[in-house]
Structure formats: structure tokens, C-alpha cells
Copies of this chain bind each other. A is one copy, B any other.
Amino acid sequence: MNIFSEPGIEDWPGIISRPSASNIDIEKTVTDILSDVRVNGLSAVKKYGELFDGVSLQDYFVTEDEFRESKDLVSDDVKNAIDVARKNITLFHTAQQESVVIIETTRGVKCWRKTVPIEKVGLYVPGGTAPLFSTLLMLGIPATLAGCSNIVVCTPCDKDGKINPAILYTADVLGIRKICKIGGAQAIAAMAYGIEGMPSVYKIFGPGNRFVTCAKQLVGKEGVAIDMPAGPSEVAIYADETCVPEFVAADLLSQAEHGTDSQVLLVASNIGIVEDIKRALAVQLEQLPRKGIASLAIKNSRAVILQNVDAAFGLLNAYAPEHLIIASLKSTDVVERVINAGSVFLGNFSPESAGDYASGTNHTLPTNGFSKAYSGVSLDSFVKKITFQQLSEEGVQNISGTVSVMAAAEGLDAHANAIDIRIRYLNNKK
């Protein structure tokens, strides 16, 4: 852990800098994969599956039999946990639904917005070391709540063509039946352009490795919507003298176990707190199966001592963390200072892992400082809002002067004429 004591604001950029997230070095490879899948469809997907993952399949779509089998392979404990998490996530996201409100901006001019689901969405669920069925909950629940009519999931299978049963069970519970055994950049390509048996989608969600991230960036540039740009997972913790150092250490480690590139930042109000947390870290690290990964991430992590709470939150907002834990009994006093963060955890009993799984908030969040401009995934991510306006005869008369004058001032005569022709018609009617 690198410790910075009372750094001046001029030192902040160095302290909060993240490793470069550039994918320039793999962009050519990913561009080629995208073009190949766009032109050659499933046969290109097969080729890259064999090449990169050593996987060769007859059928790329999960069958009814596989869904059925998955039910027997998932323990009751896990099933119950998925049920509870699903209930909480559903509650929180249901509250994000909006009703239509009609605003009469001028007499006779009614305007409103209507929320309409994005018809076709693609969810990417990474494979690899951890079978992230929680990611499927976090993307699948708002997608189904929003009413997206066509939801496809891509996730890599193992060498035997199997997908982790907890992922299949979760999909089944959510009513998502189109699961495609494809991973990597070719999965993003398949969702963006469509392949035999799977339509192209309008928006792609989900985390992934650098190839997946790069592919999402590239199809995003072409106009396929994506959830958000991605980077390694992060936590920042603000800890004052009312924190419980063992809890803070456990929270830092739960981020650190994600990978050696995990970003971990501790901001404490005095050096004693940092010392206590370091001691707790040493004890807890010893007991972790993923000790190797976590200890490297912790070694690269940063602890900053800033006694002044304005300075502390100034630094935290400049960092704009994905997750921010406020480990303090006074968390509600300082929470108004948070400007940039993905999701915030208040007090000593709100660990990040609560939000990762089951508090109800979404765990798909902006990393890499993107919380300065981006929100995490929510129900909003799966809908668009269409505006409507309806002008009565009185309404068009009431704003006709305004529109004509502005259109003329912008040199757009046909715009003015579209109003004027209606006014003449109404005048002739009289």
C-alpha cells in the first residue's frame, strides 16, 4: 500500500491516476473479427471459438434439455439466494418506472414523454474463473422489467460446451431462453450484426475482457448502443475514526480479489486508521484462497491521509470511483458531498458485496472515472423515451408567431411556412 499524507491538490492527479485503458494494440485484431462475423456469420464465430478457446460445437444455442438439467445441478441454497436477490433487485428497479405526465406548455400545446422498451437487447455474461450469474440478474431483471421483447445472452462455454448451471438456472427463472455459447469479441459481433438463429440487437450490455470491451467500443462507434465504457473494477473507501478497520480491510480485499488490476483507494482522516487497516489486511489476506491476486492488487493500492473532510471528498470526487464506501458513523452527514461515484455504501454495515449481489441496486457501474458523466445500469438503460406533442388549433395559433420569427431568423423559410400555411387555413375557415 502506497501512503500519501496530506498531499496538496497539485499531487492529486498522480495519486488518483489509473493505468491507461487504451485498447489500441488489439484494435486491429478486433476490427478483423468484427468484419469477419459481419460477413460470414456463424461460421466466423465457430472459427474464432476454435482458435481462441479450443471450443468446437454443433449447436451454439442452449437447448431445453440443458435448461432442465441445470435445475438439478444448482443447490437449493443457491436457488434461494437467487430468489432473494431477484426480489430485491426487482423491487429497486420497479421503482424506477415512470408514468406519462402531460405538460401543457402553452394553452393548446400538450407535450409528454413516453417510456418505450428497446425491442432487442444483448447481454454479455463473462465466463472465465467466476461464473457470474449475478451479472445476468443485474442485466436480465431490468431488461425483462422494461419489457424488451427480444433478449439474447452470450456467454462462453467450457471445453465440453457446457455453461455453468447457475447461469442457466438464472436465465430460466428470468424467462430468458435465448442463450448463445459464444464469448469474446465474436460474441459482441454476433449480437451487433446478427448470426443464423440470433437477430442483431440495438443495444449491448455487460462486462468482459479487453477484447470484449474493445469490440463494444467499436460497434458503439458504428451506432449500436452500449451500456457504458468499461475498465477494471474499483472501490474507494472513506474511513474516519468511527470506522471498523477490520470491515474496511475486508471491503478492500473483496475488491482486490477481482484481479491484480483492481483499483483500490483508501482515504482516511488520520494515519492511525491506515495503520489499523493495514494490520487487519495482513491477517485477512492470509486466509484468502485468491491471496495471490489480492495481495498484488493491495500492494499497488493507495492510501491517502486527508484530515480535512472537504479535501477528502474533493479527492474522491476527482477520482470518481465505481464504488464508494463511507466507513463512518457520520456517513449521512457527509453523503451530500458525493458528486462523482457509481454506487455509494453508507456506514459500517454496508459492504460493497451487499450491492454486488442483493441489496437491490445494480452492480453494473461506471469505472475508470466515467461516473463523472455516466450512470450505472438501471431500468432507464433498457428503454428510450419518446417525446410527443399535440397542438390544437388554438395551440398552433398561440405559438405560431414564435416559430415563424425564429425560423425566419435562422433562415429556414420552409419551417416558417409549415406554421404559416396552417394559420392561413384557420383564418380562411373563420
Contact = CB atoms under 8 A, between A and B. Distances in A.
Interface centre among A92, A103, A106, A359 (most CB of B within 10 A): A359
A325 to B, nearest CB: 10
Nearest to A352: B418
Contacts of A118: 372-373
A372 B202 contact: yes
Nearest to A332: B390
A363 to B, nearest CB: 10
Interface in A222-256: 223-225, 229, 244, 246-247, 250-251, 253-254, 256
A34 interface: no
A222 B256 CA distance: 25
Contacts of A109: 88, 354, 359-360
Contact residue range for chain A?
A: 35 or more
A203 to B, nearest CB: 4
Contact of A349 (B250, B284, B372, B393): B393
Interface of A: 21, 77-78, 80-82, 84-85, 87-88, 91-92, 95-96, 101, 103, 105-106, 109, 111, 113, 116, 118-120, 129-134, 166, 202-203, 217-218, 220-221, 223-225, 229, 244, 246-247, 250-251, 253-254, 256-258, 284, 287-290, 294, 331-332, 335, 338-362, 366, 368-376, 378, 380, 384-393, 395-396, 399, 401-403, 405-407, 409-419, 421-422, 425
Given A130-B410, A357-B399, A376-B387, 15 more contacts: A78-B405, A88-B399, A133-B410, A223-B368, A244-B425, A247-B418, A254-B412, A256-B414, A257-B415, A284-B414, A348-B422, A349-B391, A349-B393, A361-B387, A375-B384
